[in-house]
Structure 1
Amino acid sequence: MPIRQFQAQRMHAPRDFKSIAPEPICVEIGAGKGKHALLFSQNNPEQKLIAVERTREKFIAMQKQHAIEGQTNLQTVHADALPWVVHALYPAQVEQFFILYPNPEPHNPAQRWANMPFFEFLLSRLKTGGTITLASNIPEYIDEAEQQVKDLWNLPYVKEVIAQDSARTHFEIKYLERGELCQQLIIRKPEGYATRFDDFQPLQGQNSVASE
């Protein structure tokens, strides 16, 4: 059954929104205290990463650590990811999205990433050959996302067990130390893949919603 269309034009800009240049970037959604973002930008100096975090305390912790480490290829953003993506990102701009250990939304399956109409918009921002890395310590979450990626979104992917010594995020360290199975899907956008948002340009901070 086709998923309902995401209403991108209804998204209000995040507070203190700043637009970005239409250059190739990587984006981490729900970056937490920034452990992965700081590691990635340190290890990949030729790639620019924007790390988006909604929770104020976690964002401040990430900002402080970034100020200490000083990676020039990392930009931190305090915002809700959905409106930020709609207002900031250009079609086929993103090389990699990282969504590492998102809230599993146990009581609201419609808010899980691969179930959301917004996922189609996210795919429109991904360049051909670009990837989305979705990691979780909950087998049912990964199994459901895998099913959706296959049956609903028709995307190629790789499913991996995350190595015991991996330490990308604070959550990952904690889960692996507890002996939990951590897995990830690396979802790729193939040549010729089309979405209904391929021509949708960023709203660049406009606060008005489109009329019906």
Structure 2
Amino acid sequence: MITKQPSHQFERIFSTAHLHAPKNLDTDSISQLSKWQQSKLPLYLEIGAGKGKHALLFAKENPESRLIAVERTSEKFTAFDKQASVDILENLIYIHADAIAFTAHFIAPNTLDGAFILYPNPEPSNKNQRWLNMPFFEFLLSRLKPNAQIVLASNITAYIDEACARLDEVWQLPYQKRVIDKQSARTHFEIKYLARGEHCQELLIKKPEGYRTRFDDFFAKGDM
């Protein structure tokens, strides 16, 4: 099933063998997810959506696009749910789940027009848990359409520098690095960091035409 040679030489391969599908998704959400992935409208995924500030803002500003926002932490998801219940948006689905398990079981290959990873945990004690150091990143790339873009933002310069090195040396992906405007307010973390005067940066990572992964034809069928 996983036969294509990848466009990179990552030393480990992502496995879904012991990764269980999230159990708390209602049937309406699962049905909607399936329909969205078959639609021609642009579809985006946000990993670690927090309290939902960016997700709600993006959905409001991009009515012709659809966003799936995933948050694992119960406290943050509760705050997200409370706000989303006030600002009901038909182009937003928000999911309380682990993003890796959710993506593995519910996102089909070649369906996403983009993904957002905004201010992830830098995992200071375990660098192997950083997104570009994980085999899951290859799987995430397989879910993207050609020319789709991942936006990765952080206030930690060393995190961004390491990500750039991984993109150059391992993933072999083109990207742009830019400083985030001091007036930007996409997430609660971004507001806090910029108010402190911290140096916030983002990487715009592009999946080019012809980029291959070992998961291009893989989908955990039966979960949709």
Normalised by the length of structure 1, the TM-score is 0.94
> After the TM superposition, which segments of 4 or more aligned residues of structure 1 sit over 3 Å from their partners?
202-206
Corresponding position of 1:116: 134
CA deviations 1:146-205 (Å, max 9, x no partner) are 110111000010001000000000000000000000000010000000000000013443
Alignment: residue pair count: 206
Q: Is this contact kept in 1: 2:10–2:171, CA < 8 A? A: no
Change (3 A) 1:204 1:146: farther
How do 1:137-176 residues align onto structure 2 when only pairs under 5 Å count? 137-176=155-194
Say if 2:96 is the partner of 1:78.
yes
Say if 2:25 is the partner of 1:7.
no
Q: Is this contact kept in 1: 2:49–2:69, CA < 8 A? A: yes
Taking the aligned partners of 1:107 and 1:14, their CA distance within structure 2 comes to: 27
Normalised by the length of structure 2, the TM-score is 0.89
Taking the aligned partners of 2:83 and 2:177, their CA distance within structure 1 comes to: 31
* SS of equivalent to 1:65: helix
* SS of equivalent to 2:59: helix
* SS of equivalent to 2:209: coil
Q: Is this contact kept in 2: 1:86–1:203, CA < 8 A? A: no
Corresponding position of 1:210: none
Change (3 A) 1:9 1:25: farther
* Percent pairwise identity: 56
Change (3 A) 1:41 1:204: farther
* Aligned CA-pair RMSD: 1.3
User: Which structure 2 segments of 5+ residues have no match?
Assistant: 1-8
Change (3 A) 1:151 1:28: same
